[in-house]
Amino acid sequence: MSAEPLLLVRGLTAGYGAVEVLHDVSLQVHRGEIVSLIGANGAGKSTTLRCISRLLRGRCERLVFDDEDLARLPPHQVVGCGLAHVPEGRRIFPRLTVRENLEMGAYRRRDPDGVARDLKRVHALFPILHDRASQQGGTLSGGEQQMLAIGRAIMSAPSMLMMDEPSMGIAPLLVARIFEAVRELRDHGMTILLVEQNARAALRLSDRGYVMETGRITLAGTGQELLHDRRVQEAYLGE
């Protein structure tokens, strides 16, 4: 783990209209880690990711990614810094083909050889996307659409992925494949911040984790520490 975090969030406060959702949230992610953010529905996990990617404007002391001050950037420039967001609900383009969806992920790039290499990488990670290349994205199953959303993000050549509820609404067999793919991405150098309702699977996969309750970080530790924390077990693991 590097001494300086790749992503640093300090003192983040945000909300929707007059409703404040996040209260002084601080977290960090080091290069090469999988870090999970777990908590109940409505705790503020997705809002945190939206603030980091600048889809939602919040107030913060520091919001830095790879030495870049994200607080001054619009969302499309955040992607250009190497930070990609796989949103909750996948948000693919249903009328575009699988291949076109993947190409949209690379729309800012000007390195055709690199784009071709990353397309091969996505197909190696999710072979079904190669097989369904000419099929409209909206005709895929939920799990296949999630693979497509992850693949589209990879096509932007990020150094870090933020993934919001990748297992939501997906058949168990495909959930296992997606978590396996997350581990493979980390093993090949990708840094990942994972928001996931399946707390047990997320913590087993993660180097470190944070627990969020009502817009605040209440616990932090390694994945194994949180798995064996009685408070986490009672609240999120059903033990």
Q: What is the 3-state secondary structure (H, E, C) of the chain?
A: CCCCCCEEEEEEEEEECCEEEEEEEEEEECCCCEEEEECCCCCCHHHHHHHHCCCCCCECCEEEECCEEHHHCCHHHHHHCCEEEECCCCCCCCCCEHHHHHHHHCCCCCCHHHHHHHHHHHHHHCHHHHHCCCCEHHHCCHHHHHHHHHHHHHCCCCCEEEEECCCCCCCHHHHHHHHHHHHHHHHCCCEEEEECCCHHHHHHHCCEEEEEECCEEEEEEEHHHHHCCHHHHHHHCCC
pTM comes to 0.93
State the amino acid at position 85 in one-letter form.
H
Q: Is residue 202 part of a domain?
A: yes
The predicted model gives 26-48 an average pLDDT of: 96
- Could you tell me the CATH number of the domain that includes residue 167? 3.40.50.300
| Number of separate domains in the chain | 1
Q: Is residue 52 part of a domain?
A: yes
76 confidence band (pLDDT: 50, 70, 90): confident
Q: Is residue 42 part of a domain?
A: yes
Other CB atoms within a 10 A radius of the CB of residue 61 amount to 13
* pLDDT value for 9: 98
Residue, of 158 and 238, whose pLDDT is higher = 158
- Among candidates 184, 183, 149, which has minimal Cα distance to 166? 149
CA 126, 143, 89, 20 torsion: positive or negative? negative
Q: Is residue 207 part of a domain?
A: yes
Q: Which two tokens stand for residue 6?
A: 């790749």
Which tens digit of pLDDT belongs to each residue from 93-150?
999 999 999 999 998 889 999 999 999 999 999 999 999 999 999 999 999 999 999 9
**Residue 183, CB-side half-sphere exposure with 13 Å CA sphere:** 12
Q: Is residue 152 part of a domain?
A: no
Q: Is residue 140 part of a domain?
A: no
Is there a contact between 41 and 15 (Cβ–Cβ < 8 Å)? Answer: no
Q: Is residue 218 part of a domain?
A: yes
- Among candidates 169, 168, 237, which has minimal Cα distance to 203? 237
Range of the domain at 46: 7-88+158-236
* pLDDT value for 186: 95
Q: What is the mean pLDDT of the chain?
A: 94
The predicted model gives 19-33 an average pLDDT of: 96
Q: Is residue 129 part of a domain?
A: no
